[in-house]
Amino acid sequence: MCHFCTQHADGGKWFEAAQNYAAKMYQFKKKAAKAKEAEYIEKKKAELQKMREKGALIEEGEGWYMDDRGEFYVKPGAALDLDIMVTDLVQEVIEAKALNLDELPMLKKKAKSFMDKYHTGQVVTYEEAQQMLEITWPIGLMECICRRERRGMYNDPMAHTCFSLGVGLYKWERWPETFRGITFLSVEEAKERLAYFNKKGCVHTLWTFYTPYIGGLCNCEYPTCLGIRGRVDYGIDGILYKGEYVIVPIPDRCTGCAECVKFCQFGAMSMSRSRNKVTVNMQKCFGCGQCLVHCPNTAFKLLEREKALGVRDHW
């Protein structure tokens, strides 16, 4: 149970609660923004002006601002492209890591705050991903933006790995760059594709568009995926959350074939050469279950993160 589960679900996993896929969540945001446009924006602008005079605004950009607690907000009525905002914020962190270490914690907090509120991800297992596909409708398969930008897979059928879910999909015609090469799938077809990606070794991750509305189910890999890379290499916590499980090795069943090490995208697996068994760094494990899928002897078990007391706070 992560903090999203306690905030956005009634007692279960938050991505298995149907309300987080509802059209209402999507429509509400738009309608609220439209109806309140004039007065709401005026009121907010006056508030912003007051904060500015007090010096409570740390930073301000086009369409966004950050207050003195390090919380990131999109300005009311502003149209912000989430993908571009993510790339810009992560780039700031990367530059600071090389050149300006003093500002690094602040920039990390800014990126985390933005991701938490608007565009966060979480690792899910294969079974959970299947359940997600059953809940939502419609389902489209489109080209992965990360693979396009960082691996040059443009108009490439191999890069069609991202499921777009829910009502946000109906505007696909208006956004040719975002929904590139989209094909609409039935639930069975989508599950077939999901099984294919699972066999290939991709990590299933869900993505929110204005949390908690869930609008994407991607099949990611290191180092192409910005989410995995930002979390693992640069330590931006909010960009991708760990899954609901951790993996536990069963040494008696392990034969030392090292198949799991090949498929771990997070660098958590290593072979203990003297014992010829696998060792898992459970602090690094994201609980995607890829090692379990590819192990010929089922030498792993998934343990709920709740029950692993040492890592239950690691999200």
Partner 1 sequence: MLMEISIDNEKCKVPMGCRQCVRVCPQCVFQLHLKRFERFLEMPLEDWELRVYFPDMCSGCMECVKICPLHAIKVRPAKVQKGEVASAT
Q: How many residues bind partner 1 (CB under 8 A)?
A: 23
Q: Does 62 bind partner 1 (CB under 8 A)?
A: no
Note whether 239 and 155 are within 8 A (CB).
no
Q: Please identify which residue in 8, 109, 119, 229 interacts with partner 1, judged by CB under 8 A.
A: 229
Cα 225 from chain centroid (whole Å): 10
Q: Please identify which residue in 61, 176, 251, 256 interacts with partner 1, judged by CB under 8 A.
A: 176
Cα 221 from chain centroid (whole Å): 12
Note whether 280 and 311 are within 8 A (CB).
no
Query: Hey, what are 167's tokens?
Result: 């009502």
Is residue 295 exposed (0-12), middle (13-18) or buried (19+ Cβ within 10 Å)?
buried
Q: Does 30 bind partner 1 (CB under 8 A)?
A: no
Count of beta carbons in the 10 Å neighbourhood of residue 138? 16
Binding part of the chain for partner 1, among 25-33, 79-87, 183-191, 276-284 by CB under 8 A, reads 79-87
Binding part of the chain for partner 1, among 23-31, 84-92, 159-167, 300-308 by CB under 8 A, reads 84-92
Three-state secondary structure call for residue 220: strand
Question: Which of residues 84 and 309 has its CB atom nearest to partner 1 in the complex?
Answer: 84
In the complex, minimum distance from the CB of residue 187 to partner 1, in angstroms, rounded to a whole number: 29
Q: Does 101 bind partner 1 (CB under 8 A)?
A: yes
In the complex, minimum distance from the CB of residue 97 to partner 1, in angstroms, rounded to a whole number: 6
Question: Which of residues 53 and 177 has its CB atom nearest to partner 1 in the complex?
Answer: 177
Q: Does 223 bind partner 1 (CB under 8 A)?
A: yes
Question: Which of residues 155 and 255 has its CB atom nearest to partner 1 in the complex?
Answer: 155
Report which DSSP code applies to 241: B
Question: Which of residues 47 and 81 has its CB atom nearest to partner 1 in the complex?
Answer: 81
Q: Please identify which residue in 11, 39, 53, 152 interacts with partner 1, judged by CB under 8 A.
A: 152
Is residue 251 exposed (0-12), middle (13-18) or buried (19+ Cβ within 10 Å)?
exposed
Tell me which residue of 229, 276, 236, 228 sits closest to 252, measured CA to CA. Answer: 276
Q: What is d(CA 278, CA 268) in angstroms, rounded to the nearest whole number? A: 10
Q: What is d(CA 52, CA 163) in angstroms, rounded to the nearest whole number? A: 41
Q: Please identify which residue in 22, 33, 78, 94 interacts with partner 1, judged by CB under 8 A.
A: 94
> Rule CB under 8 A: which residues touch partner 1?
81, 84, 87, 91, 94, 97-98, 101, 104, 148-152, 154, 174-177, 223-224, 229, 233
